[in-house]
A and B are shown apart, each in its own frame.
Chain A
Amino acid sequence: MLTFKRGVHPPDEKSFSAEKEVVMIQPEVGEELCFPMSQHIGAPCKPTVAKGDYVKMGQKIGETTGFVCSPIFASVSGTVKDIRPVLTPGGAMSQAVVIENDGKMEPVEGLNVPKDYTKMTNEEICDAIKEAGVVGLGGAGFPTHIKLAPPPDKKIDYIIVNAAECEPYLTTDYRIMLEEPERVVRGLQVVLKLHPEAKGVIGIEHNKPKAIESMTKACEGIDNISVATLRTKFPQGSEKHIIYSITKREVPSGGLPADSGCIVDNVDTMVAIERAIFRGRPLMRRIVTVSGRGAVNPGNYKVRLGMTYGMLLDKVGGFTEDTAKIISGGPMMGIAIHSLDTVMTKTSSSILCFTEAESQLPEERNCFRCGKCVSHCPMGLMPNELNKAAIYGDHAGFIEFNGMDCIECGSCSFECPAKRQLAQSIRAEKKIQMALKAKQN
């Protein structure tokens, strides 16, 4: 079975929602939906509409302002009520177009017009993907069209579909693979058209046998696409680690997947590409796992972008009295949100409701050098030393121990018997390092 070195085994907790079919959740008439202009890595978009304008479903309401950027589309029709800052999961405020849903779902001109990718040039395909607002839906939100067009000197020989879904609780990718496997394959075929020399590999962890079966069946008879079974281990879905598991290549420190001849995209990103090309629809929806011991109705829900976490929770039964923590994303790398008014974005993969008991912060003790952080760090770092450097403000020591290579997966903190906040301190120091570097330039 394919895997990488080190890593951890958190309890997978997927049984809450794994066998629940995706249910469509619609916003009600009159409800206000917010579309933050920053839902991706890169420059924020610029609103193309003004207060009082009428917008149609699928209409572009935020246009790109830089190279690394991805446009934003209205997921409903209605009137622009306001353009104001709203809270996004990262905790930052982002300028957003606020639309009052009129419930008519009136489509914009050109929506739902399929394209024939076999007759399109590579530039046209990339452009269509860009103009559909497709970004990496695994969580990072990097604009997909940039990833698909690496510098010409990088030869791409693997297109990897990241279907590891190694975070506990999350089951959206799993449901997509069971319910719409052929769309994943079609999306991958579009990408393979761009890189005809490359092989398509769909990497799935071995704790999802039904997904492996479903995807294997969907790729039957297609020569350049195969399914790879990966060992269930966190962080198997990390870009660098899934590349290593499948190709045994290490993305060089500070480099990109293209440096190892790979492009990695999430399962749902493939579906978004498929939707952009085969159905002429931009990215307007998101599949969200609602789970955790505090969730009343755990399940998988397809929502229109623009809803807040609170709106979705209200529509699916909410959370129990003793819920004390709400997490956007998985429990290893997700963000604890402080307000239900936080707006869901393209990358909001889940809402986890943790109970009071699960939300207790353990007391931090002295490091007693057990070495578990070192023997589990998937990047081969020494989190104990990085923690020390971060705490003492030893900026040079942090670099000496390769702190900038940390992928912030949290494996070290997960394992630490002294319950030290290793990942937290390293993340904070990384920010300081970036600020120091920016100052120097």
Chain B
Amino acid sequence: MAKTFTVSSTPHVRSKESINSIMRDVFIALLPATVVGIINSGALMPNAIVITLVSIFACIFFEFMWQKLRHEKITISDMSAAVTGLLLAMNMPASAPVWMPIVGAGFAILICKQLFGGLGQNFINPALAGRAFLLASYPTLMTNWAGTKFYDAVSAATPLAQLKTGVSAMTYTTMDAFLGRVPGALGEVCALALIIGGVYLLVKKIISWRIPVIYIVVVFVLTAALGRTGGRVPVYEICSGGLMLGAFFMATDYVTSPVTPKGQMLFAVGCGVLTAFIRKWGGYPEGVSYSILIMNLLVPLIDKNTRPKIFGEVKKA
């Protein structure tokens, strides 16, 4: 009998990159900041490790159960749920009770992701939405930094909360903020570790420079221009709060950011403007999460209006 051959459409070669490899790289890129965050938890280190693991496994578990109960293909091996879990943990204080990441994971995976159709279909970033949900529901627990290594018992505030009062209230230096010697959510404190992770993603071409660089530059320029009571500290501003985490890892989330290059730039500018405005005039000391979530909602509109110019476009008369 004659040999049978595989027949398929073009192209017959594919790049090595897959959803799996991308998610794995994002996970790897988040590790330096996670490790620094855990170490900086000081006495709370065991709890920090527990909530990180619980968050990751809760996300994987919820995704698995949803797909199992709905007789869908189980896709937890693509690591997208694990990345959501790690990002969610990085947004929590080291003192968080163990049930909190579970609630957050449930909201992120079930409500934000699976209810809308699973991977690729959610319109807001699940990890950020999980954090926003927890912050709104348990504001005290979500902002309790007591017990961590760099907690200042006198001011009991994060760098951005101090800035809200004024530059004179600052008890941390820019270098403290850069190296993570400040209180704050687990994964957001060390700008250096986040930049290392971000550069890894840039080098691996998993993210483009457009969103993170524009986002950070816009925040830098606007905070320099707007200033705070008693002065302007733009370098300190960009190293503090969730900006580095948000700019490199949240705003660059494929699913919830524009697909067009021009759209990505516009999206980043929007994130930057909103962040600076919330920090300056908003009720919260920090505005990264809400800025990104608001811009997530505008993505369809941005995509629609930033379509690339097609090759050989003929102007319609």
Instruction: List chain A positions with a Cβ less than 8 A from chain B.
Output: 8, 10-11, 168, 240, 244, 250-255, 323-327, 331-340, 352, 354, 358-359, 361-362, 365-371, 374-375, 377-382, 384, 401-402, 405, 408, 410, 413-419, 421, 423-424, 427
Question: What distance in Å separates the Cβ of B266 from its nearest Cβ neighbour in chain A?
Answer: 14
Judged by a CB distance under 8 angstroms, whether B121 is at the interface is yes
Take A253-B310, A365-B19, A380-B309 as given contacts and tell me if A421 and B14 are in contact as well, using a CB distance cutoff of 8 Å.
no
The 4 A-B pairs with the shortest beta carbon distances in the complex, nearest first, are A410-B11, A371-B259, A424-B9, A368-B120
Are B15 and A414 in contact (CB-based, < 8 A)? yes
The interface residues of chain A lying within 8 Å CB-to-CB of B258 are 371
A199 to B18 Cα, complex, angstroms: 45
Are A374 and B259 in contact (CB-based, < 8 A)? yes
A195 to B14 Cα, complex, angstroms: 41
Instruction: List chain B positions with a Cβ less than 8 A from chain A.
Output: 2, 4-15, 17-19, 21-22, 75, 78, 80, 117-121, 208, 254-261, 264, 307-314
Question: What distance in Å separates the Cβ of A118 from its nearest Cβ neighbour in chain B?
Answer: 37
The interface residues of chain B lying within 8 Å CB-to-CB of A421 are 9
The interface residues of chain B lying within 8 Å CB-to-CB of A419 are 14, 18
The interface residues of chain B lying within 8 Å CB-to-CB of A374 are 259-261, 308
Question: What distance in Å separates the Cβ of A340 from its nearest Cβ neighbour in chain B?
Answer: 7
The interface residues of chain A lying within 8 Å CB-to-CB of B255 are 368-369
Q: Which residue of B lies closest to A354 (CB)?
A: B12
The interface residues of chain A lying within 8 Å CB-to-CB of B259 are 369-371, 374, 382, 384
Question: What distance in Å separates the Cβ of A382 from its nearest Cβ neighbour in chain B?
Answer: 6
Question: What distance in Å separates the Cβ of A44 from its nearest Cβ neighbour in chain B?
Answer: 24
The interface residues of chain B lying within 8 Å CB-to-CB of A325 are 5-8, 12
Question: What distance in Å separates the Cβ of B292 from its nearest Cβ neighbour in chain A?
Answer: 15
A411 to B154 Cα, complex, angstroms: 59
A381 to B208 Cα, complex, angstroms: 19
Identify 15 new A-B residue pairs, CB closer than 8 A, beyond the known A366-B117, A380-B313, A423-B10.
Answer: A10-B13, A252-B314, A253-B312, A255-B314, A326-B5, A334-B12, A354-B6, A361-B8, A368-B80, A368-B255, A384-B259, A402-B310, A410-B11, A415-B17, A423-B9
Q: Which residue of B lies closest to A412 (CB)?
A: B11
Take A371-B254, A417-B22 as given contacts and tell me if A381 and B7 are in contact as well, using a CB distance cutoff of 8 Å.
no
Are B18 and A405 in contact (CB-based, < 8 A)? no
A-B contact pairs, 16 of them (CB 8 A): A253-B314, A324-B6, A332-B10, A354-B12, A362-B18, A365-B119, A366-B118, A366-B120, A369-B255, A370-B259, A374-B260, A380-B309, A402-B310, A410-B11, A414-B14, A416-B14
The interface residues of chain B lying within 8 Å CB-to-CB of A324 are 5-6
Are A378 and B7 in contact (CB-based, < 8 A)? no
The interface residues of chain B lying within 8 Å CB-to-CB of A378 are 311
The interface residues of chain A lying within 8 Å CB-to-CB of B18 are 362, 417-419
The interface residues of chain B lying within 8 Å CB-to-CB of A380 are 308-311, 313
Residue among A366, A381, A415, A421 having the largest count of chain B Cβ atoms under 10 Å: A366
A382 to B21 Cα, complex, angstroms: 23
Question: What distance in Å separates the Cβ of A174 from its nearest Cβ neighbour in chain B?
Answer: 19
Q: Which residue of A lies closest to B80 (CB)?
A: A368
Question: What distance in Å separates the Cβ of B204 from its nearest Cβ neighbour in chain A?
Answer: 12
- Residue in A10, A402, A417, A427 whose CB lies within 8 Å of B9: A427
Q: Which residue of A lies closest to B309 (CB)?
A: A380
A162 to B18 Cα, complex, angstroms: 33
Question: What distance in Å separates the Cβ of B4 from its nearest Cβ neighbour in chain A?
Answer: 7
A415 to B14 Cα, complex, angstroms: 7
Are A333 and B11 in contact (CB-based, < 8 A)? yes
Q: Which residue of B lies closest to A379 (CB)?
A: B311
Q: Which residue of A lies closest to B18 (CB)?
A: A417
B interface, by DSSP: helix, strand, loop or mixed? loop
Q: Which residue of B lies closest to A341 (CB)?
A: B2
A434 to B118 Cα, complex, angstroms: 35
Question: What distance in Å separates the Cβ of A242 from its nearest Cβ neighbour in chain B?
Answer: 13
Are A368 and B19 in contact (CB-based, < 8 A)? yes
Are A382 and B260 in contact (CB-based, < 8 A)? yes
A358 to B18 Cα, complex, angstroms: 16
The interface residues of chain A lying within 8 Å CB-to-CB of B121 are 366
The interface residues of chain A lying within 8 Å CB-to-CB of B7 are 325, 336-338
Q: Which residue of B lies closest to A414 (CB)?
A: B11
A340 to B1 Cα, complex, angstroms: 13
Take A336-B7, A368-B254 as given contacts and tell me if A418 and B314 are in contact as well, using a CB distance cutoff of 8 Å.
no
The interface residues of chain B lying within 8 Å CB-to-CB of A371 are 254, 258-261, 264
A244 to B314 Cα, complex, angstroms: 16
- Residue in A168, A358, A370, A424 whose CB lies within 8 Å of B22: A370
Are A417 and B314 in contact (CB-based, < 8 A)? no
Question: What distance in Å separates the Cβ of A1 from its nearest Cβ neighbour in chain B?
Answer: 19
Q: Which residue of A lies closest to B208 (CB)?
A: A375
A387 to B188 Cα, complex, angstroms: 38
A377 to B119 Cα, complex, angstroms: 23
The interface residues of chain A lying within 8 Å CB-to-CB of B117 are 366
Question: What distance in Å separates the Cβ of B209 from its nearest Cβ neighbour in chain A?
Answer: 12
A416 to B15 Cα, complex, angstroms: 8
The interface residues of chain B lying within 8 Å CB-to-CB of A252 are 312-314
The interface residues of chain B lying within 8 Å CB-to-CB of A338 are 4-5, 7
Are A253 and B11 in contact (CB-based, < 8 A)? no
Are B10 and A333 in contact (CB-based, < 8 A)? yes
Q: Which residue of B lies closest to A332 (CB)?
A: B11
The interface residues of chain A lying within 8 Å CB-to-CB of B261 are 371, 374-375
The interface residues of chain B lying within 8 Å CB-to-CB of A340 are 2
A408 to B11 Cα, complex, angstroms: 9
A427 to B9 Cα, complex, angstroms: 10
A421 to B17 Cα, complex, angstroms: 15
Question: What distance in Å separates the Cβ of A159 from its nearest Cβ neighbour in chain B?
Answer: 20
Take A337-B5, A382-B260 as given contacts and tell me if A331 and B312 are in contact as well, using a CB distance cutoff of 8 Å.
no
The interface residues of chain B lying within 8 Å CB-to-CB of A358 are 12-13
A354 to B10 Cα, complex, angstroms: 14
Are B120 and A327 in contact (CB-based, < 8 A)? no
The interface residues of chain B lying within 8 Å CB-to-CB of A354 are 6, 12
Take A368-B120, A369-B120 as given contacts and tell me if A417 and B5 are in contact as well, using a CB distance cutoff of 8 Å.
no
- Residue in B6, B78, B80, B119 whose CB lies within 8 Å of A336: B6
Are B19 and A418 in contact (CB-based, < 8 A)? yes
A258 to B22 Cα, complex, angstroms: 43
Are A379 and B310 in contact (CB-based, < 8 A)? yes
Q: Which residue of A lies closest to B315 (CB)?
A: A252
A415 to B16 Cα, complex, angstroms: 9
Take A324-B5, A366-B121 as given contacts and tell me if A240 and B312 are in contact as well, using a CB distance cutoff of 8 Å.
yes
Question: What distance in Å separates the Cβ of B309 from its nearest Cβ neighbour in chain A?
Answer: 6
Q: Which residue of A lies closest to B304 (CB)?
A: A385
